[in-house]
Structure 1
Amino acid sequence: MKHLILYILPVIVYVLTFAGCSSSPDQLRCNIGIADITPEESVVLAGFAARKGLSTGIHRPLKTHCIVIENDSVRVCIISNDMMEISINMAGELREEIATQTGIPYDHIFIHSTHTHSAPRAGGSSAEKGGTNYAFVKKLRETVVRNAVQTANNKKAFIPFTIETGKGECEINCNRREKDGPCDHDVYLSHFLDKEKKPIVSLLNFACHPVSLNHRSLVVSTDFPGITVEELSKEWGNDVFYFSGAAGNVDPCGALRTDTSYTQARGMELADAVRNIRTEKIKKSNILRVSSMEVKLPFRVSKITPEIVNDHADEIKQWNAFGTWKNDVERWRSATLEKIAKDEVKNWLPFEIASVNIGGLVLFFSQGEPFNEYQTLLRENNPGITLFFIAYTNGQNSYLPSKYAFGRDAYEYEKEQMHIYIGAPYPLSAEMPVVYEMAMKQVVNDVASNQ
């Protein structure tokens, strides 16, 4: 019997050891969750100041998409919502709730909006109690958190994956201010594959405002990205997540319309472009690395004071802008002076950015609406890396005009007027692009070096 035990023990050790080698102990794993966030009532739609009236129907249902990625030491939660935008405060509250209920660090949670201008407003008077959008916003908050928590906490559902990526071109997008202005037509695709080499989920990244439906349209819609996602999901048999890139100065080419068949055509064109992309496996790596930072973007003055705000308001309200301009400036003045009195105004614009390296696929996240040139520059500075540029993440706070735009007259709205509508205390400085570019490079280098 003693000899039998001595024989069996090494066999057991051998079996247990090599059974554990069937998958890497630090292997990348993921789980996805999707839930409906379509409003059940008529709502105020976001994105166009000239739009009048409540929504009249549903063109495409809205979804919240969540993917949680992990290895043995790091977890990351990435959410893409079919929304135009959410505030920084709302994004922070949602991230805190998800972090509390999942244990995922706050700065490892990213909440992206695809930026469709046919989704309900999530802020303002309509979202307050008694407003038309109040019930929707309540549902949005609850559903986004619940979907993310369920996705993160269902440990048995996580699947090991490898990654394939590729790049193509689609020319449905154009510079919105200049006929021949800067515009990046690249579209990026990534498949997360199971051990049978079947896609678990596919990720798309393209830079174009989802505004093929114009301000006269009153239907709830994902706009063209939803058409693309729907078409490819049916064809591939897996879920597809869409992430809008640096589209601050990029729209669909041609006039925007109320005709949903136009939206259908744009979405199908993008789907066709994605179909033609050839993907290749990224060199196997189980890296999951995160870097984030708050960038201090400079205003045109070094210190925001009541005197500065009043002088600025007195000057710009005389401009011959559109009909509500003078009233808009006065509302901005009052709100900004109130924030100064409460010590809520900084002498720079806080801007949150981050980067995540998922097995060699690098995702760059940015708040606000960076101009297209930033993603071109970031990719040029990182050759050999598949890099998704994902804007509209963790809250909306500003357009970010590029160096090029600061030297041109075509972008006066983004440079001179936008701060009135986003509640920033002053216009950004022409030195801002250099500060933002340096920060972009730093967070990407932090995760991409020695991968």
Structure 2
Amino acid sequence: MPAHEARLRAGSASTDITPEEPVVMSGYGAREGRSTGVHDPLFAAALVLDDGTSTVGVASVDVLNVSREFTNRVRTALASAGVDLDSIVVAATHTHAGPYLPARALDVSPPLRATADVSETVSRIEEAVVETFRRAHAALEPAAVHTATDSEGAVQENRRAAGGVGGNVRVPHGPVDPNVTAVLVETVSGAETVLYNFACHPVCATARETHLSADWPGVARERVREVRPGATVLFLNGAAGDVNPAGLRPGRSRAEAYEAMERVGGRVGDAVVRALEGAEPAADGASRAPIFVDEAELRLPVKRTPPVETLEARIDDLDDRIERLEADGETVGAEKLAWDRQYATELLAIARWDATCLPNRLPYFEIGTIGVLGMPGEVHTAHGLRFKSAARAESLLLAGYANDYVGYLPPLADLENVGYEVRTAKLSPEAVLEFRREALGLVGALTSSPSAADGGQ
């Protein structure tokens, strides 16, 4: 290809972000204390793509979540370092065994917020993400990009279809998305980057485990590296808000938790490897695909709640009833009311919150037949399947937990069936509609009114 012709360039990098000292962990409200060790390392990996006009960056970080503030500080630091990105996607893998990073919609939840000062941990991870992006940008060189898919349906279950967290879903139902999309990027020097997308919660570790871990995505990463030594591997968790690994026993032991990680991560990693076998890049090692960049500004209304006084009275009443049941040995009834108390406490925290809406920005970009949509939280699978069916791009990668964390975004059909995801959601049904409408507008064209496009989902 003549030197003056447009060509795609790519660069990637990876950084070990495992804390060296005990840190506050995130993922489970029942977990106490700080981390006590490391089961497997945590990483931040970044891919930067440039077509001579537009530059985009994607990072995958082994943490539960990032925040709007975290992403903005990363973007600002990169600009100061001369790395100007037209679009940025900073996606948490959503491991439930990583260090705690604050976010508004996370911290408003009483069981999940951390009271300890975690600013030093946050700063170190931010700096690592910035440096990883900077190294990826510095490594830009002509590259070829190709994509392929495979399927892994044996390791997922829709947890609402299985009865829900705490067994509180009225009408158990919900889909899964077994699709595994793998993108292979190879530069002219032979450097390889694997970006893959799959939708499943990394919750093999339990609240009792205090060793840091990337959970099953860490196992999948190593499986890919075994086949492609030296490759930078990025995982984008998809619309996984209501999807867990299948076959997890609630009271599983430490050994069972780590066995589940190996099982789930091994099978997902094998699916990525199978997909890569059909995703070899062009022989000339270069691509001319232009980059298309878009985004949508959102103003997501917060859930409406009863008055503070009403909720306080409700909690007092539940406390009295739970105490009486426990005194009578009615443990099952007490446990059920304990869930009701947790949900009432969540509502009280929202009622006292000083936020009426959460501003947000959805990033989207396309490269040839590949589209990447950043989504700011726990997006349910029904949304993801709808986005894929409407997408212009042949391969739409859905990056959940990206650039911010706004909590659960359940489909409207789930609202009447309640359950954990609905009852702990921080946003209103109107916010769900706005998110869906804007996401559909980015990935494709709405073919009907927003309400009809929602299809009750």
Query: Is 1:149 aligned with 2:134?
Result: yes
Q: Could you tell me how far apart the structure 2 residues matched to 1:87 and 1:384 are?
A: 27
Alignment of 1:141-180 (within 5 A): 141-152=126-137, 154=138, 157-171=139-153, 172-179=155-162
> Could you say which residue in structure 2 is the equivalent of 1:406?
415
Q: Could you tell me how far apart the structure 2 residues matched to 1:210 and 1:64 are?
A: 16
Q: Could you tell me how far apart the structure 2 residues matched to 1:234 and 1:23 are?
A: 35
Q: Can you give the 5+ residue segments of structure 1 that lack an aligned partner in the other structure?
A: 1-20, 340-344, 420-426, 447-451
Q: 52, 62, 77: which is aligned to 1:97?
A: 77
Q: Could you tell me how far apart the structure 1 residues matched to 2:394 and 2:313 are?
A: 47
> Could you say which residue in structure 2 is the equivalent of 1:185?
178
Query: Is 1:116 aligned with 2:123?
Result: no
Alignment of 1:381-396 (within 5 A): 381-382=390-391, 385-396=394-405
Residues 74 and 47 of structure 1, relative CA distance in 2, 3 Å threshold: same
Q: 296, 299, 307: which is aligned to 1:296?
A: 299
Q: How far is the alpha carbon of 1:330 from its aligned partner?
A: 4.8
- Kept after mapping to 2: 8 A contact 1:127/1:137: no
**2:211 counterpart letter in structure 1:** V
Q: 36, 40, 43: which is aligned to 2:23?
A: 43
Q: 187, 201, 210: which is aligned to 1:209?
A: 201
Alignment of 1:269-418 (within 5 A): 269-277=267-275, 278-280=277-279, 285-298=288-301, 309-310=307-308, 313-314=311-312, 317=315, 320-322=337-339, 330-334=348-352, 336=353, 339=354, 345-346=355-356, 348-382=357-391, 385-407=394-416, 409=417, 411-418=418-425
Q: Can you give the 5+ residue segments of structure 2 that lack an aligned partner in the other structure?
A: 163-172, 319-336, 446-457
Instruction: Give the length in aligned residue pairs.
Output: 395
- Kept after mapping to 1: 8 A contact 2:184/2:280: no
Higher relative contact order (CA 8 A, sep 6+): 2
Residues 279 and 199 of structure 1, relative CA distance in 2, 3 Å threshold: farther
Q: How far is the alpha carbon of 1:300 from its aligned partner?
A: 5.8
**2:70 counterpart letter in structure 1:** M
Q: Which has the larger radius of gyration?
A: 1
Residues 122 and 435 of structure 1, relative CA distance in 2, 3 Å threshold: closer
Query: Is 1:248 aligned with 2:247?
Result: no
Q: Could you tell me how far apart the structure 2 residues matched to 1:383 and 1:418 are?
A: 30
Q: 38, 56, 59: which is aligned to 1:79?
A: 59
RMSD: 2.8
SS in 2 for 1:161: strand
SS in 1 for 2:25: coil
> Could you say which residue in structure 1 is the equivalent of 2:428?
428
Q: Could you tell me how far apart the structure 1 residues matched to 2:53 and 2:64 are?
A: 33
> Could you say which residue in structure 2 is the equivalent of 1:55?
35
Query: Is 1:226 aligned with 2:218?
Result: yes
Q: How far is the alpha carbon of 1:177 from its aligned partner?
A: 1.6
**TM-score of the superposed pair, with normalisation by structure 1:** 0.79
Residues 315 and 354 of structure 1, relative CA distance in 2, 3 Å threshold: farther
